[in-house]
């Protein structure tokens, strides 16, 4: 069969409803100044869907640092991959400051989070090594596992009995191959907001030796002392062997980093293909990241304000009888019962009637007949935003339970 003919007839699990959903449910355009209140299809909306935890996206000090760096350096400098011609003292300074901030020996600056996480995993393990990872790990970790040429075992999400079983299976295999074990989990799982059980996992090091890799994209900057993440929050930062963080969430910019022992970072510097063969981060991004990191370190009120909003949102939802799962981060899921058709009608109602824009998650990410509304609080939201959202959610839930959103197909929104 012709390749193009094949994809014409099979658009994939996410693309199967693309004609009906594109521009509204998928690839929507939020416009205006980044913040809690933006514009969607010409109408003002209260948005809970932006990974701008600390409100740095449009902070005036950040905007000035970004603009000054762009005026001084332009977007092209430095040219080339860092190994060849793209190295600067500012890239090195950012790495040093990140390592010191995270209480690790060294850091390696990466161009993108998704790409960097995949590439770090692929570089760390060889064909005789075994990966053991959480079933709800982010797609970038799963794709890193796919690049691995050796064996892998997946344990049920945050289930320590399942983890122990998979770990023992990995140990039996590495006893034969002579390889090592890399265990992977997340600091904060970005969908449901629960933290990975880093502390409990680390305890198993006393029984079976392994190295622990933690992707803490949603934890860095939002939890832990001064925003040092889930490992710090759980008191086991020293037990994390490879810590991965991104700038795309709390820092509200592009880029990522990995911190570890100095010799591990040196190895990654020379063996991560995604960095060896890619252009270095442009100077304005690096200078801007230095400014953002300094603000995270020196302005605890940013994290305090974030948690004030998150606590008010989560406690208010629970008091109103909503199921918010097991979140112990600022990420706030709201679980409702309903079909895919009902989910789309709920989305349209929230956006068109109440002016609330949030992410909506359905099967296969969550079980069938479950609708998850995912809210991302930020330091720039207000308690009035929280009150209004809970009030609107209560009205929508009442209509959902009364069967008013039932539908056999995706809702019309044009």
Q: Express each pLDDT in 43-80 by its tens digit.
A: 999 999 999 999 999 999 999 999 999 999 999 999 99
In the predicted structure, residue 19 carries a pLDDT above the cut 90: no
Helix, strand or coil, per DSSP, at residue 211: strand
Whether residues 222 and 332 share a domain: the answer is: no
Whether residues 16 and 72 share a domain: the answer is: no
CATH number (domain holding residue 28): 3.90.1150.10
The secondary structure element, H or E, covering residue 66 is helix 60-73
Would residue 198 count as lying in a domain? yes
The pLDDT assigned to 327 comes to 97
Q: What's the number of domains the chain is made of?
A: 2
The pLDDT assigned to 190 comes to 94
pLDDT digit string, tens, across residues 367-387:
889 999 999 999 999 999 999
Whether residues 97 and 138 share a domain: the answer is: yes
Q: Beta strand pairing status for 130-134 and 370-375?
A: unpaired
Would residue 408 count as lying in a domain? no
Residue where a domain stops, chosen among 298, 332, 351 = 298
The pLDDT assigned to 314 comes to 98
Helix, strand or coil, per DSSP, at residue 155: strand
**Residues 202, 204: Cα–Cα separation, whole Å:** 5
Would residue 52 count as lying in a domain? no
Assign 414 a pLDDT band (cuts: 50, 70, 90): low
Would residue 109 count as lying in a domain? yes
| Tokens standing for residue 341 | 């058709």
Across the range 2-11, mean pLDDT stands at 86
Query: CA-CA-CA-CA torsion for 362, 364, 365, 368, nearest 10 degrees?
Result: 50
Which ranges of 148-276 does DSSP label H, i.e. alpha helix?
A: 160-177, 198-203, 230-233, 262-271, 273-276
Q: Which of 47, 28, 150, 131 is nearest to 377 (CA)?
A: 47
Residue where a domain stops, chosen among 249, 282, 298 = 298
Whether residues 223 and 155 share a domain: the answer is: yes
Helix, strand or coil, per DSSP, at residue 338: coil
Would residue 161 count as lying in a domain? yes
Across the range 136-163, mean pLDDT stands at 96
| Cβ partners under 8 Å of residue 340, min gap 6 | 362, 363, 410
Q: Return the percent helix, strand and coil in the chain, to nearest 5.
A: 45, 15, 40
Whether residues 122 and 176 share a domain: the answer is: yes
Range of the domain at 186: 60-298
Buried b (16+ CB within 10 A) or exposed e, 36-73: bbbebeeeebbbbbbbbbbbbbebeebeebbeebbeeb
Q: Based on the number of CB atoms within 10 Å of its own CB, is 76 exposed (0-12), middle (13-18) or buried (19 or more)?
A: exposed
Would residue 55 count as lying in a domain? no
The pLDDT assigned to 413 comes to 59
What is residue 78's DSSP assignment?
S
Would residue 179 count as lying in a domain? yes
| Residue-averaged pLDDT of the chain | 94
CATH number (domain holding residue 294): 3.40.640.10
Whether residues 35 and 64 share a domain: the answer is: no
Whether residues 273 and 311 share a domain: the answer is: no
Across the range 6-20, mean pLDDT stands at 79
Whether residues 145 and 104 share a domain: the answer is: yes
The answer to whether 95 touches 106, Cβ cutoff 8 Å, is yes
Across the range 87-114, mean pLDDT stands at 96
| Cβ partners under 8 Å of residue 356, min gap 6 | 45, 46, 48, 350, 389, 392
Whether residues 99 and 234 share a domain: the answer is: yes
**Residues 192, 353: Cα–Cα separation, whole Å:** 26
The pLDDT assigned to 12 comes to 78
Whether residues 115 and 246 share a domain: the answer is: yes
Would residue 379 count as lying in a domain? yes
The answer to whether 164 touches 204, Cβ cutoff 8 Å, is yes
Give CA angle at 11 (6, 16), nearest 5°: 145
What is residue 250's DSSP assignment?
S
Phi/psi for 109 (5° steps) reads -80, 135
The answer to whether 26 touches 347, Cβ cutoff 8 Å, is no
pTM of the model: 0.94
In the predicted structure, residue 1 carries a pLDDT above the cut 90: no
pLDDT digit string, tens, across residues 350-359:
999 999 999 9
Q: Which of 357, 279, 284, 236 is nearest to 75 (CA)?
A: 284
Whether residues 135 and 273 share a domain: the answer is: yes
Residue where a domain stops, chosen among 248, 283, 298 = 298
Whether residues 318 and 359 share a domain: the answer is: yes
């Amino acid at each position: 069969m012709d390749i193009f003919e094949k994809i014409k007839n099979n658009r994939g699990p996410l693309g199967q409803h693309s004609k009906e959903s594109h521009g509204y449910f998928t690839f929507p355009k939020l416009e205006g100044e980044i913040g809690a209140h933006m514009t969607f299809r010409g109408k003002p909306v209260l948005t809970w869907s932006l990974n701008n935890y600390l409100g740095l996206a449009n902070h005036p000090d950040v905007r000035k640092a970004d603009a000054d760096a762009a005026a001084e350096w332009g977007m092209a400098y430095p040219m080339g991959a860092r190994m060849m011609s793209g190295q600067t003292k500012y890239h090195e300074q950012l790495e040093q400051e990140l390592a010191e901030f995270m209480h690790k020996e060294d850091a390696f600056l990466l161009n993108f989070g998704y790409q960097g996480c995949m590439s770090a995993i692929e570089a760390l393990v060889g064909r005789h090594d075994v990966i053991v990872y959480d079933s709800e790990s982010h797609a970038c970790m799963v794709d890193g596992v796919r690049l691995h040429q050796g064996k892998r075992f997946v344990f049920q999400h945050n289930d320590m009995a399942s983890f122990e079983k998979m770990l023992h299976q990995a140990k039996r295999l590495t006893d034969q191959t002579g390889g090592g074990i890399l265990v992977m989990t997340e600091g904060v799982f970005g969908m449901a907001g629960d933290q990975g059980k880093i502390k409990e996992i680390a305890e198993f090091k006393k029984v079976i030796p392994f190295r622990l890799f933690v992707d803490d994209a949603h934890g860095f900057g939002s939890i832990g002392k001064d925003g040092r993440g889930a490992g710090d929050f759980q008191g086991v930062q020293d037990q994390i062997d490879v810590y991965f963080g991104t700038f795309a969430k709390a820092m509200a910019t592009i880029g990522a980093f990995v911190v570890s022992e100095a010799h591990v970072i040196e190895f990654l510097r020379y063996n991560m293909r995604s960095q060896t063969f890619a252009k270095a981060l442009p100077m304005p991004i690096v200078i801007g990241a230095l400014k953002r990191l300094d603000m995270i370190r020196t302005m605890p009120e940013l994290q305090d304000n974030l948690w004030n909003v998150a606590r008010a949102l989560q406690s208010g939802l629970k008091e109103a009888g909503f199921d918010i799962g097991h979140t112990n981060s600022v990420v706030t899921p709201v679980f409702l019962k309903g079909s895919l058709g009902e989910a789309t009608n709920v989305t349209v109602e929230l956006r068109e009637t109440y002016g609330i824009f949030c992410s909506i998650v359905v099967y296969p990410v969550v079980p069938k007949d479950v609708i998850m509304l995912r809210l991302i609080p930020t330091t720039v939201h207000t308690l009035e935003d929280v009150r209004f959202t809970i009030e609107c959610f209560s009205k929508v839930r009442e209509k959902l339970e009364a069967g008013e959103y039932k539908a056999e197909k995706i809702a019309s929104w044009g």
